Structure 1
């Protein structure tokens, strides 16, 4: 992130100074993000606004359904995916009737854009801001920020929006883990998934798809696009995702709209019971599904698909116990892989220890692991440090899978022990006390890229600080040396025959 974009994000987030006292800290983002989106949309539409307004009366007189009207009005935007039919903008809302005028302005957006504000419950916050005599002040401050494409590109605006999302995550860290994957984990996983294709991604005319079935606020989708953009600014990356939580869905959709993506590719709903992208296959997939969440509510749907469709569905390999649906998401991703004949696919998914260790021989979990190994999809598993996530301190792992393994990786699985590759944060965010810096991430990606065994290598990391409180042992344990290692195994060594 450049200094300019960082400064812009800090300026926008300073709206929180006006909110302090009247709103909870965890609500700041719910106000700041939609206002930022509104200002950006306004700037993007500025040059085409008159052209759209000139068509409104003609199109409305046709008495067509909303969808048909939208198609006609979109033609006047010159290739944009949204429009607004109001003669107002933030500079024309006035002070006396500002709440009603702002609500009317929002309602004049095309359906996809309007839906984002609805999921933010923006109208409710407009009312609360008005009651607190803050709405006019907020609007005036937002107006001061030029977020038009002439002032800030789509890529830079995406970085600003991501920084605002990160600040929102920090300000609401008691629930952040449900919706936000920490940025260091996102960077690591994205690098591991994309790095094998670096050469291909630098070619002219590249078009690739990226998918996250548990999209949250869109962190993985944004990171994937950013990775490819840095390699090849001319590459076209099309983002797809589905998210269960309406607010996270709204943030993700807003982020994709700001980046110029087709927001109709971001869906709301339960991916496992209602896959709204069921016919699509993808090049790259990234996911951080919820840890240890049961699937009782959708048990009938999942079991029906397993029984009736078998391997023609997503869950033919087996079903895990109802108390943890992590492996269902993994099977779902495998089913979404583009065929090898069409270029194949790569997957990066973050899981806890349960999918690795739960279930004896013959269990659903064991059969799923057998299927993954026998089809030679698993490339590597990276063991992460503990205390890396906002809402849990448990051990976690990054699984990398692919149906287009390089020749030297066929029949092999790489295990990387990166549990000590982290440093303490100056200030904890919920359960997140550790973070991986660029050097730590580079060590993992280098080990993965080199695909060689590394014997336990001592790390230059400070020892854990021992507490001085309570009774101290007369014979304290010797400090354990922190190490990093990588091992390579044949798939048959995991015990399946």
Structure 2
């Protein structure tokens, strides 16, 4: 049974809830019961041995916990002889027995149901005489690991949560990361680390997601590494604000045998759950376009008191969008490079705003300045629109690293992957497009090869496209053009120096003049004898960092305003990454003669049709 069919089957439980629960409340019942049934099935085979061991160690006066984990073969266990199927045998006492069963789980598993507020839902179901019916429904679902593996179970959780988000009218910022986007990010994260991917090598690495959600990014990173090197071990860390998502993520980690204490609940920005820790790899898809007013006091305090010793040293973005705070949080978690060893690489999904919002001196510009001047950005990849479930806006994957290969030092690669998509057979919310495996592989090769490339399309004289567009990289020969045909070259990958994105904002002043047209001079203090600026004529110019300010001023300003000068005290350095501008290809409009001839032909055709109607 595939994950969509399985989630549809679980969704049928909603038919029982209709009337007693609002649509937006279905998830409060279905999600914890799905987790409970999964844990139930995982522990079924080892249950007899665990119960025997529990009795023996309890009678011997020993702490049974480590022995029970070993017998269960997982990081969790249950010491009750009950399971969901046995609960159905005593319909009159199902509520009390269900409580006893959940309480018999080990503490980390029990915490999952506390986060779901399971007790409240059990009471509510019992009052509505639905508890037995719902329990029966879930007891008949086969979620044994040999039938539904961990990867499929993750997809089931994601599908269910997406449905609940849709019917609850969640905001565009509350979205889930499509699996293909995570695969692309994971590919880009590991591609330069041959020592980790080499099969047969025993390596242990850490990975962290500060916005863990249901754990999808961590799970796919783990799967990717095991595919390439079964002997590699990835220890996962995360933090999640939403209790339900946290509970599902923790359930996933429990089932996989990961240390569950590594997944922390709480707001990453105001209470760092992994303070002082550094990680080898990091992934994040923070909520973008969501304000951070709730944590503003704590964030500003850290910025002002700790500066660069804290997480938010470079600057603070505007309160209306906190996504760049997560970027800085990840920067603070990068492991240092010592004698060429160590270091970190991370990927983060952001919307277009962090690329260019804010002028020189603003918080956003200062954050961009910090990452570019410290040579931390390896690449930015523009994704297709309509890729996420609850928002259709343009999104970008940033790859940052403090262990850049020699060829990448001082440079930033931009990849426009907005045309790499295929239409989905069925839309899922706002998600209408998906990236195929070939698309992901192409972008990965462009990044791994660190090459400039363009998509070349050939037309014949009749305007018909000849074959598929070809991806041409440095040194490749361009395809031949038919006689009378034409060729279009669309850049896909471009490489720039970091300073190409910097500029100096200069303030251009012009003198204040009296009624006679004479320049006004200052009469007091430091301004005495100096030309006074006219605020109405004040202007600013952005001068590229790689150009001399005075040379630019003399060339671009003085010919038009000979009396102007630069107020050097107001000069500021800024950075912006105008992504789309670097991939724009100008197409000259058709000639007026061609348009005129076409209009004449259309007019003649219309007159002919009118004449035929009049006959």
TM-score tier (shorter):
0.7 to 0.9
Match of 1:162 in 2: 154
Contact 2:456 2:490 in 1 (8 A): yes
Residue 222 of structure 1 pairs with residue 219 of structure 2:
yes
Structure 1, gaps ≥5 residues long: 1-5, 63-68, 462-480
1:90 aligns with 2:84: yes
Which residue of 8, 13, 16 maps to 2:11?
A: 16
SS in 2 for 1:270: coil
**Hey, what's the Cα distance between the residues in 1 that align with 2:120 and 2:489?**
51
Residues in 2 aligned to 1:266 and 1:179: alpha-carbon distance in whole angstroms: 20
Q: Which moved more, 1:165-174 or 1:220-229?
A: 165-174
What secondary structure sits across from 1:362 in the alignment? coil
The answer to whether 1:180 aligns with 2:148 is no
Q: Distance in 1 between matches of 2:210 and 2:69?
A: 31
> Which one of 284, 287, 298 corresponds to residue 287 of structure 1?
284
Q: Tell me the CA shift for residue 53 of structure 1.
A: 3.5
Q: What is the match of residue 74 of structure 1?
A: 66
Partner of 2:247: 250
2:56 pairs with 1:54: yes
SS of equivalent residue, structure 1 residue 242? strand
Residue 39 of structure 2: aligned partner:
38
Alignment of 1:80-479 (within 5 A): 80-93=74-87, 94=89, 95-130=91-126, 135-140=131-136, 142-143=138-139, 151=146, 157-174=149-166, 175=170, 178=174, 180-202=176-198, 203-341=200-338, 342-458=341-457
- From the superposition, tell whether residues 384 and 117 of structure 1 become closer, same or farther in structure 2 (CA, over 3 Å): same
Identify if the C-alpha distance between structure 1 residues 190 and 84 changes in structure 2 by more than 3 Å, giving closer, same or farther.
Answer: same
Shift of 1:316: 1.1
Residue 126 and residue 295 in structure 1: after superposition, are their counterparts in 2 closer, same or farther (change >3 A)? same
Which is worse superposed, 315-324 or 274-283? 315-324
1:494 is aligned to 501
CA distance 1:92–1:271, shift in 2 (3 Å): same
The verdict on how the C-alpha distance between 1:452 and 1:121 changes in structure 2, with shifts beyond 3 A counting, is same
* Secondary structure in structure 2 of the residue aligned to 1:320: coil
Deviation at 1:419, TM superposition (A): 1.2
- Residues 15, 361 of structure 1: alpha-carbon distance in 2 compared, 3 angstrom cutoff: closer
**Further displaced range: 422-431 or 399-408:** 422-431
The CA distance in 1 between the partners of 2:141 and 2:252, in whole Å, is 18
Task: Assess if the C-alpha contact under 8 Å between 1:423 and 1:436 holds in 2.
Answer: yes
Correspondence 1:477-488 to 2 at 5 A: 485-488=492-495
Distance 1:417 1:358 in 2: 20
Q: Kindly state the Cα deviation for residue 38 of structure 1 after the two structures are TM-superposed.
A: 2.8
Between the aligned partners of 2:491 and 2:427, the Cα distance in structure 1 is 24
Distance 2:230 2:123 in 1: 42
Instruction: Encode CA deviations 1:46-92: one digit per residue, 9 max, x unaligned.
Output: 23332123334665xx9xxxxxx6xx523343274223232322343
Distance verdict in 2 for CA 1:45–1:482, change over 3 Å: farther
How far is the alpha carbon of 1:211 from its aligned partner? 0.3
TM-score, normalization by structure 1: 0.85
1:282–1:338 CA contact under 8 A, matched in 2: yes
Q: Check the 8 A contact 2:51/2:80 in 1, yes or no.
A: no
Displacement after TM superposition at 1:254 (Å): 0.6
Corresponding residue SS for 1:237: strand
Greater shift in the superposed pair: 297-306 or 358-367: 297-306
SS in 2 for 1:211: strand
Counterpart-to-counterpart distance in 1, 2:35 and 2:137: 14
- Are the counterparts in 2 of residues 314 and 331 from structure 1 also a CA contact under 8 Å? yes
Moved more, 129-138 or 81-90: 129-138
Deviation at 1:125, TM superposition (A): 3.6
Matched residues in 2 for 1:58 and 1:368: separation?
60
Moved more, 90-99 or 230-239: 90-99
Going from structure 1 to structure 2, the CA distance change for 1:444 and 1:12 (only over 3 Å counts) comes to closer
What's 2:518 paired with?
none
Distance 2:489 2:12 in 1: 43
- What SS is found at the alignment partner of 1:172? helix
Equivalent pair of 1:454/1:485 in contact (CA under 8 Å): yes
Query: Does the 8 Å contact 2:316/2:363 carry over to 1?
Result: yes
State the alpha-carbon separation in 2 of the partners of residues 388 and 409 from structure 1: 29
Gap change, CA 1:389 and 1:482, over 3 Å in 2: farther
Matched length:
460
Select the structure of larger CA radius of gyration: 2
Contact 1:385 1:419 in 2 (8 A): yes
The CA distance in 2 between the partners of 1:417 and 1:293, in whole Å, is 25
Secondary structure class of the residue paired with 1:97: helix
Kept in 1: contact 2:34–2:138 (CA 8 A): no
- Please give the per-residue CA displacement for 1:235-279, whole angstroms capped at 9, x wherever unaligned: 111100000000010011111111111111000001011001012
Distance 2:80 2:111 in 1: 16
3-state DSSP class of the match of 1:20? helix
> Larger deviation: 50-59 or 487-496?
50-59
SS of equivalent residue, structure 1 residue 428: strand
Instruction: State the alpha-carbon separation in 2 of the partners of residues 483 and 104 from structure 1.
Output: 65
Alpha-carbon distance in structure 2 between the residues aligned to 1:420 and 1:41: 43
TM-score (norm 2): 0.69
